[in-house]
Structure 1
Amino acid sequence: MPYPDLYTTSAPPPFLRRLLRFLSAFPRPKWNSNRNLVVTHPILSVMESCDSMVHLKQIQARLTTAGLMSDRFPASRVLAFCALSDPSDMAHAGLVFRGISSPNPYIWNTMIRGYNRANLPLSGFSCFRRMVRDRVEMDSRSFVFVLKSCEQLLEASAGEGIHCVACKAGFMSHLLVGNGLVRFYATQGALASARRVFDSLSERDVVSWTTMIDGYSESRKPHEALRLFYQMLMTDTQPNGITFVAILSAISQLGELKFAKLVHDNIGRSGIDASINLLNALVDMYGKCGSVADAKEVFDEMPIKDVFSWTSMMSAYAKCGNLDLARQLFDTMPERNVITWSSIIAAYSQSNQPKEAVQLFYEMIAAHVKPIDATLVSVLSACAMLGCLDLGRWIYEHYVDGKMIRLSVKLANAFIDMYAKCGDIAEATKLFDEMPEKDVVSWNTMILAYAVHGYSKDALFLFEHMKNTQLMPDDITFVGVLSACCHGGLVVEGRRHFADMKSIFGIEPKGVHYACLVDLFGKFGLLKEAHELVRGMPVEPDGAAWGALLNACRMQGNVELGKFAGEMLLGLEPGDSGIYVLMANLYATRREWDDVKKVRKMMKERGVKKTPGRSSIELDGKFHDFHVADVSHLQSKEIYTTLNNIYTQLKIEGYVPWTKC
């Protein structure tokens, strides 16, 4: 017996209207996103509110018994539930799919979508290839869904192949396909290709503009994002909330408060309902632009706040250097996620408070919050400052060797830096050599590591090897190269590399580069050349250059030039106690004790105090600081007794302390 129409837009009979009213009282499941579909068949009406695989199989059994599963529409609804519910069941979806004769584009598209949702992009891509191979009818959504498969595959060539198919099949005039290609290329970082597709679109909607603007913003090209946004405003296309979130991210990168306020005003005039994501973006933008007051105003006026709202406000305080308020906000948050923990840890690490950063990391682990790679990058930076090699090694063994976190290039760079600064240059070298992909930071970190540890030839050899890659050295690279020359006493090589910076690589030397070369000249008594180098700087010499010259004069005992360099340096940094110490040591080398007293008197009059030397050790997750002649530690008596025993044993072995000033 033929069954009634499966779906219709006309008024259903009275008994079906009652059934539909009853079913409409229940919320529609997430898998069923088609709000315009009106189903009138009794069994299929129940199917529309299905919310579990057990329920589905019961419905499917009834459909099979009634002989309805041979029809494409009932089969497509069963397939949609299997592929699009949460969690999905793609194995069962495959069985249903194979039982459908002549599946239409909607059914093929549902399979591709399902594979994407199940993180099986290769299966989704293969599904589309079958459509092409078997010359199955496809629509614009087929290309959109398979491009999302390509995004997950992270293979640009796969998406380029889809682009070719779209051109040959005549789908490039479809806006949906064009937008999908712009999105694909933008997410791959291929902005030139994305822009070519964008410029070739015969028509553009808000999605086209927003996708391209967001691509520029995500690729850290805020100026291009702003230019495109202004072009969009010149057209009849009105930005939506997502457009403004993208442009606010771009302004955050620029840190331009003037632009921030202009766009904020534009949002107010546009009449767009401010979503929580948009308000969060405003808080984040003002924080990164340095305006805590504006960030706080938006935050306080938010009708609803989520964990990202609190995290953005906390980060705003931290960005502006107010760690106390950032910590207060962190401690009072109603909810925290891994981004919250990562942000506060990064704030302490970047503010040179590594102990607090590490302590927070321990608390995070105790709270059973799994860190992400950004968390570990900040913690490793803190480990490098503290010399916590054991913690750094544990992080690698637990998270990287334990396959809990993928070793990205950025994370590998952080490990190399940590190993090098903690003295394990062998492990740093091993990790660098094993990296399948390296960026400029990777090479810079390793070159600097070699230079600091006195392996000058290794640093310069690595630099020559870097020049044979596709990567271009930057100003940080040359800090490492010149430091290597300085540590190795390679005057000729230092001069050559300094000259090559501008003549070959187009890099204008900065104060730190001049300081490296001045330091190199000073070690070999070339004070006249060092002084001429500082005086010949194209910009006003900074503290690094004068400090290097002062230190060179101290090493060579040149009081006259050293006094001049010291006076210049004090004019720039009068509160730096290290300058006074250097000058006092300079006078002491010539036994000019009256001048030493003058320096000490000057320090006293200016209220400058010498920062006391200290050491720090970590024991069982706790840090212990020790200053000169410190007796504040609870076990100071036992500590000094042990140190005296060690010193006595050293003297017995013939150790003589070096007391040269």
Structure 2
Amino acid sequence: MKLFTQFQQNLLSRTLCSSTKKWYSMLIITHPTLVLLESCSSMFHLRQILGHMFHTGLVFDVFPLSRLITFCALHDHGDFAYARSLFSLIPDPNTYIWNTLIRGGMKRNEPEMGLRIFKKMVWGGVEMDKRSFVFALKCCERLEGVGVEVGRGLHGRIWKLGFVEDLILRNGLVHFYGEMGFVSDARKVFDEISDRDVVSWTTMIDGYVKAELNDEALEVFKLMCEGGVEPNEVTMITVFSACGNKGDLSLGLSFHELVCKKRVKCGLNLSNAMLDMYAKCGRMDKANDVFDRMERRDVFTWTSMIDGYGKNGEVDLARKHFDEMPGRNVVSWNAMIAGYSQNNRPMEAIELFRVMESEGMVPIESTLVCVLSACAQLSCLTIGQQIHKKYVKQKWIDISIVIGNALIDMYAKCGCIYEAEMVFRDMPAKIVGTWNSMILGYASNGSAKEALSLFEQMVSAGSQPDSITFVGILSACAHGGLIDQGFDYFRNMETFGLIPKIEHYACMTDLLGRLGRVDEAHNLIKTMTIQPDEAVWGTLLSACRMCGNVELGKIAADKLIILDPKDSGTYALLASLCSKKSAWGDVSTVRSMMREKGIKKNPGCSSIEVEGRSHGFLVADQSHPHSKVIYKTLDGLRVSSKPDNHASNAILTEAFSMGQI
């Protein structure tokens, strides 16, 4: 799950555009009213100035009116519609004013309006300059659907009008194609630039990074250095992003040294990029060094640390940074919730999500996916249903493929296969992962025939199965005892271009083991071309315990102890197998081994959901706040198992009526 992709793209875009000036220009203005206008900070203030300009007649001069339009179109507190109204007062607006409105459409996230203004400029025969096209291309980047075609049309007009040799426009075209994901077109324009500057190189590298072509990005950077072009801060941000995406620590370290050697200005954005790179490479010690040296930090800084610690399994350190950060956004909450969910701490993920909602934060898609995953881990159906109803059915968030897959997985793991089917059927589009989620759901709920039928539908629909698909199919065969079908599917994997992996051999071992054919399972393991892992030997040991094959169980246990000598489950299964066959000497030997190695059996754990909250219990657990009432009720249940004893019924009735359990 790519929690940070959009956030990182925003960082790069913000950095690439950081040189953009404020709404006002570096003009020397002496007129008192215009001086007042340049310091304007609200539409209320501007209307007061405009009234005075009408009174003095200043508004009828083009330059003062252009300053009014510039404020309305570009200032954060401006009004784009008001800018267009003022524009209509000018009988013959100049190129600067037209460009200001096009740029305003880009800035105000109204790209259609910006392009409409550009078209009027073309139809009116207004003389255009390079900035007209640059701002129009920026509008195309923000235009969904037809933005690419409109941009290509602009590219043609640039050629036609003879602007194609202008470096700023060529750089703008490289950025446009890269932003839209057409990196081959971007590279073609880039290769045609004879006088490339640092912006040209940086824009091309950024395009490759956004397309997840990190090797190509780094190759362009290498060519840039060989060409004698000095990288700047923005260049190094894109390069560190490529290293982080690749997980290439050695390259990242060498680029860090380059930054120091070249004395590249290391501002907030570059420090964030280095920190994020180290976090992605699993070097939180290095990330923490960068964090400690930073004079200024923003929400991205803190969130990178949270995400990094979470992905490296250090959830408590992630929570420490989360609690200490001065201000949070939805991505920060998302990173912390994901840290809990992905590190098998689902209850804490759900609790934090509740806090997030109580503080008025609106979750994004990836937040809900993490919480639904936590619900699936806990079989916490109530909260999963609430999320489905509130955020999907009530249209807060569209049922995308990612959300749909998470809902199918959650319902299936909670045993609600019918609800999973409903989500599957309602999804507007299905990818391989969608089919896999439903097939695995059927398999885990013992619906083998349904799983196999859905697989046939998947193939008929033209969707190419992957290795996970066959894990679901083979698991379904194992749960359904369909040994012949299981072997047919196992052998036919190669017809789909797939080679069996460890997990597929584990499924086949399970299939044979469930039917008591453990010798055949062992023979299958011996024919494996890849080294069996804990899952394969663990499956065989469990099967031996079920059918009472002590000798083969010992072989499987020996393999498991070599692979993971600290796993208490192996010793527990072997002891259980030996005791089942009354091999008490072997049981004593296993227990002695555990004592010698200091291995303690992990206590049994169960959970129950009550009114939307999941409560976990260990063996002989006294930590629950209502443990006294719970044990009192359990004692009552034991008494009630005896004939003609109604005492426990009274205990239970009293406890429930008082709301104690």
Q: Using structure 2 for the length normalisation, give the TM-score.
A: 0.85
Match of 1:151 in 2: 141
Is 1:587–2:572 an aligned residue pair?
no
Match of 1:429 in 2: 421
Is 1:88–1:118's contact at 8 Å kept on the other side of the alignment? no
Match of 1:656 in 2: none
Is 1:212–2:204 an aligned residue pair?
yes
Root-mean-square deviation over aligned CA pairs: 3.1
Aligned-residue offset at 1:466? 3.7
List alignment gaps of at least 5 residues for structure 1: 1-28, 654-661
Aligned-residue offset at 1:590? 4.0
Aligned partner (choices 67, 72, 76) of residue 86 of structure 1: 76
The amino acid across from 1:142 in the alignment is S
Q: Which moved more, 1:65-74 or 1:216-225?
A: 65-74
Is 1:31–1:80's contact at 8 Å kept on the other side of the alignment? no
Aligned-residue offset at 1:633? 4.1
Aligned-residue offset at 1:266? 0.8
Is 1:163–1:181's contact at 8 Å kept on the other side of the alignment? no
Aligned-residue offset at 1:268? 0.9
Q: Which moved more, 1:462-471 or 1:335-344?
A: 462-471
Match of 1:412 in 2: 404
Change (3 A) 1:594 1:222: same
Is 1:478–2:467 an aligned residue pair?
no
Is 2:380–2:612's contact at 8 Å kept on the other side of the alignment? no
Aligned-residue offset at 1:30? 7.5
Is 1:303–2:295 an aligned residue pair?
yes
Q: Write the mapping of 1:44-123 to structure 2, written as runs, cut at 5 A.
A: 44-64=34-54, 69=59, 71-123=61-113
Match of 1:383 in 2: 375
The amino acid across from 2:552 in the alignment is L
Change (3 A) 1:463 1:99: farther
The amino acid across from 1:462 in the alignment is L
List alignment gaps of at least 5 residues for structure 2: 1-19, 645-661
Mapped partners of 1:223, 1:111: distance in 2: 39
Is 1:30–1:85's contact at 8 Å kept on the other side of the alignment? no
Aligned-residue offset at 1:516? 0.7
Mapped partners of 2:199, 2:464: distance in 1: 36
Is 2:141–2:147's contact at 8 Å kept on the other side of the alignment? no
Match of 1:565 in 2: 556
Mapped partners of 2:74, 2:113: distance in 1: 15
**Partner deviation per Cα, 1:369-423 (whole Å, 9 max, x = no partner):** 4433333332222222122222222233333445544544333333332222222
**Partner deviation per Cα, 1:8-62 (whole Å, 9 max, x = no partner):** xxxxxxxxxxxxxxxxxxxxx9753422x33455544443333332333344345
Match of 1:628 in 2: 619
Mapped partners of 1:437, 1:181: distance in 2: 33
Match of 2:17 in 1: none
Mapped partners of 2:212, 2:375: distance in 1: 28
Aligned-residue offset at 1:142? 2.8
Match of 2:16 in 1: none
The amino acid across from 2:597 in the alignment is R
Is 2:380–2:614's contact at 8 Å kept on the other side of the alignment? no
Change (3 A) 1:423 1:292: same
Moved over 6 A (4+): 647-653
Mapped partners of 1:328, 1:453: distance in 2: 39
Match of 1:501 in 2: 493
Q: Write the mapping of 1:323-362 to structure 2, written as runs, cut at 5 A.
A: 323-362=315-354
Q: Which moved more, 1:636-645 or 1:346-355?
A: 636-645
Mapped partners of 2:82, 2:259: distance in 1: 47
Q: Which moved more, 1:486-495 or 1:349-358?
A: 486-495
Q: Which moved more, 1:492-501 or 1:534-543?
A: 492-501
Is 1:166–2:158 an aligned residue pair?
no
Is 2:609–2:615's contact at 8 Å kept on the other side of the alignment? yes
The amino acid across from 1:600 in the alignment is R
Match of 2:269 in 1: 277
SS at match of 2:615: strand
Aligned partner (choices 522, 527, 531) of residue 531 of structure 1: 522
Aligned-residue offset at 1:274? 0.8
Q: Write the mapping of 1:233-312 to structure 2, written as runs, cut at 5 A.
A: 233-312=225-304
Match of 1:175 in 2: 167
Match of 1:444 in 2: 436
Higher RCO, Cα 8 Å, sep 6+: 2
**Partner deviation per Cα, 1:121-178 (whole Å, 9 max, x = no partner):** 22223333444455544333333323333333322x3322321332244144333333
Is 1:349–1:382's contact at 8 Å kept on the other side of the alignment? yes
Mapped partners of 1:640, 1:71: distance in 2: 87
Match of 2:543 in 1: 552
Is 2:232–2:265's contact at 8 Å kept on the other side of the alignment? no
Change (3 A) 1:247 1:107: same
SS at match of 1:153: coil
Mapped partners of 2:613, 2:443: distance in 1: 32
Q: Write the mapping of 1:597-608 to structure 2, written as runs, cut at 5 A.
A: 597-608=588-599
Change (3 A) 1:448 1:205: farther
**Partner deviation per Cα, 1:597-623 (whole Å, 9 max, x = no partner):** 433333333332222222123556765
Mapped partners of 2:177, 2:450: distance in 1: 39
Mapped partners of 2:44, 2:139: distance in 1: 29
Is 1:187–1:215's contact at 8 Å kept on the other side of the alignment? yes
Alignment identity in percent?
48
Q: Which moved more, 1:74-83 or 1:490-499?
A: 490-499
Is 1:124–1:149's contact at 8 Å kept on the other side of the alignment? yes
Mapped partners of 2:326, 2:629: distance in 1: 45
Aligned-residue offset at 1:514? 1.0
Is 2:376–2:410's contact at 8 Å kept on the other side of the alignment? yes
The amino acid across from 2:131 in the alignment is R
Number of equivalent positions: 622
Aligned-residue offset at 1:65? 5.1
Change (3 A) 1:609 1:391: same
Change (3 A) 1:240 1:384: same
Match of 1:128 in 2: 118
Mapped partners of 1:76, 1:300: distance in 2: 47
Mapped partners of 1:30, 1:261: distance in 2: 34
Mapped partners of 2:376, 2:513: distance in 1: 29
Aligned-residue offset at 1:280? 1.8
SS at match of 2:499: coil
Mapped partners of 1:335, 1:213: distance in 2: 32
Change (3 A) 1:640 1:71: same
Is 1:147–1:159's contact at 8 Å kept on the other side of the alignment? no
Q: Which moved more, 1:544-553 or 1:197-206?
A: 197-206
Mapped partners of 2:503, 2:133: distance in 1: 52
Is 1:198–2:190 an aligned residue pair?
yes
The amino acid across from 2:108 in the alignment is A
SS at match of 1:109: helix
Aligned-residue offset at 1:66? 5.3
Is 2:478–2:486's contact at 8 Å kept on the other side of the alignment? yes
Q: Using structure 1 for the length normalisation, give the TM-score.
A: 0.85
Mapped partners of 2:227, 2:106: distance in 1: 35
